[in-house]
């Protein structure tokens, strides 16, 4: 999947190409079966009925996977929560399990990945249709494979017969071409179906699987279950093993993903999908947790390297919220004086930064030991923007906008992207209740 979303040709031709592939395997194969001399002749009425019924389900589920909106958050109420992540691209709070899709241009509820073949996000609202599409696609391919196998077996049985008594060259070419395309398509879609079923049963999206793998890599490198890290404000954060909290039991996982506990509707093509709602858990705004962690809300795990970078005394490494709040109430002359003071401070910090960069370029801060140098590169490789999983995939390969991604932030650290106006408004809400200025 890596790289497909960034190819302009794939973006423009993916859906027409999929439709062309379905039409070719579905109807060209039936044309060969009915209008050629291939034994054992045309499929029976029952075989034709079952095959074409599967095709109808396939077409409809693919249509829904492409056209159903992946979900959006409407902030009609006043947001007064001071905790939680903030999406600087949407300029709005980002609920748990949501990610900003760089293709859809907004935060997607329970984003799994942006699929290039549907040109749509696989999310909380589209997952049921995407799963049904994969199920009916695989069932249709398996039945087509069975029909093709009958023709190949008949050819093998008649291998000692004179060639002129067998099928025509055109029929053999059509059979071979259809079989090759069917084989490779079945292999690709079977892999997609297995990975999607795994996500469905364990209630773990592809992005969360990436985060989980990265968390295991950090733990393995750390060598212990937890350790203390000093944050940007001098507070100590305890980095510890975080269990994946959204696996609440296989049946509950599947019912939550399909939007209903009625298993009979899970693979019904005309069934609906979940909708974003604040009324219940598992509806896009909040999610039920299994209680394996100390407290709720510990997912996603923190990024130790990001905490270390935030703690460095570099310019703009950490916002001074107190100063911003005070400056908001200053007079015009006082603001000018404060601005000149900040300019002088920035100049001093810039000189300090240049000195530190010169030391790093000369490896003075690293040391001569090769192991120390390897440790530096290992730490860099765990950066959320650079780290790749075992398949070589980064967050952007799932469609996530890494510039807007705050999934690795811890609590108050996520407020670094919250605009000052929003922080002021939240403070007014808390202090004045409903009387918002």
User: What pLDDT digit, counting tens, does each position of 89-119 carry?
Assistant: 888 888 899 999 999 989 999 999 999 999 9
CB 400 within 8 A of CB 99: yes
Q: Looking up tokens 């696996």, which residue turns up?
A: 247
How far, in Å, CA of 358 to CA of 216, rounded?
34
* pLDDT of the residue at 306: 67
Contact 123, 112 (CB under 8 A): yes
Asked whether residue 380 carries a pLDDT value surpassing 70, the answer given is: no
DSSP class of residue 204 equals: -
Predicted confidence band at 358 (pLDDT cuts at 50, 70, 90)? low
Residue 80 has pLDDT above 50, yes or no: no
Counting Cα atoms < 13 Å in the Cβ hemisphere of 209 gives 18
> Which burial class, exposed, middle or buried, applies to 295 when counting CB atoms under 10 A from its CB (0-12, 13-18, 19+)?
exposed
Band the pLDDT of 184: cuts 50, 70, 90.
very high
Name residue 320's beta-bridge partners: none
Please compute the mean of the pLDDT values over residues 266-283 and round it to a whole number: 86
Count other C-beta atoms under 10 Å from residue 238's C-beta: 10
Q: Which residues are catalytic?
A: 115
Q: What is the pTM of this model?
A: 0.78
User: In the predicted model, what is the mean pLDDT of residues 163-188?
Assistant: 90
């Amino acid at each position: 999947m890596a790289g497909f979303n960034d190819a302009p040709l794939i973006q423009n031709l993916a859906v027409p190409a999929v439709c062309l592939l379905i039409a070719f395997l579905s109807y060209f194969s039936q044309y060969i079966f009915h209008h050629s001399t291939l034994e054992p002749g045309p499929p029976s009425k029952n075989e034709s009925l079952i095959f074409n019924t599967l095709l109808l389900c396939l077409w409809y589920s693919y249509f829904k996977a492409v056209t159903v909106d992946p979900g959006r958050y409407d902030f009609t109420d006043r947001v007064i929560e001071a905790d939680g992540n903030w999406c600087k691209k949407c300029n709005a709070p980002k609920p748990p399990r949501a990610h900003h899709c760089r293709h859809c241009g907004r935060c997607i509820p329970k984003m799994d990945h942006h699929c290039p073949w549907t040109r749509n996000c696989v999310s909380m609202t589209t997952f049921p249709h995407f799963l049904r599409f994969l199920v009916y696609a695989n069932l249709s391919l398996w039945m087509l494979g069975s029909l093709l196998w009958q023709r190949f077996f008949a050819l093998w049985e008649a291998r000692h017969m004179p060639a002129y008594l067998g099928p025509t060259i055109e029929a053999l070419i059509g059979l071979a071409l259809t079989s090759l395309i069917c084989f490779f398509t079945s292999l690709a879609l079977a892999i997609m179906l297995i990975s999607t079923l795994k996500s469905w049963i364990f209630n773990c999206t592809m992005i969360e699987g990436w985060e989980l793998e990265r968390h295991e890599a950090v733990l393995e490198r750390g060598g212990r279950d937890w350790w203390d890290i000093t944050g940007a404000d001098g507070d100590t954060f305890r980095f510890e093993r975080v269990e994946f909290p959204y696996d609440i039991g296989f049946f509950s996982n599947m019912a939550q993903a399909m939007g209903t506990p009625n298993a009979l509707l899970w693979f019904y093509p005309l069934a609906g999908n979940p909708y974003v709602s604040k009324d219940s858990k598992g509806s896009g705004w909040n999610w039920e947790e299994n209680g394996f962690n100390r407290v709720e809300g510990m997912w996603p795990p923190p990024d130790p390297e990001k905490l270390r970078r935030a703690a460095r005394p570099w310019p703009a490494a950490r916002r001074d919220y107190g100063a911003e709040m005070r400056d908001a109430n200053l007079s015009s002359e006082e603001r000018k004086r404060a601005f000149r003071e900040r300019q002088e401070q920035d100049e001093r910090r810039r000189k300090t930064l240049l000195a530190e960069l010169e030391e790093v370029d000369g490896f003075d801060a690293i040391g001569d030991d090769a192991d120390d140098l390897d440790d530096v590169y290992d730490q860099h490789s765990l950066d959320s923007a650079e780290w790749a999983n075992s398949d070589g995939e980064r967050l952007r390969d799932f469609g996530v906008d890494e510039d807007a991604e705050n999934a690795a932030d811890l609590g108050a650290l996520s407020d670094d992207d919250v605009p000052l106006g929003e922080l002021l408004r939240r403070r007014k809400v808390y202090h004045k209740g409903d009387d918002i200025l």
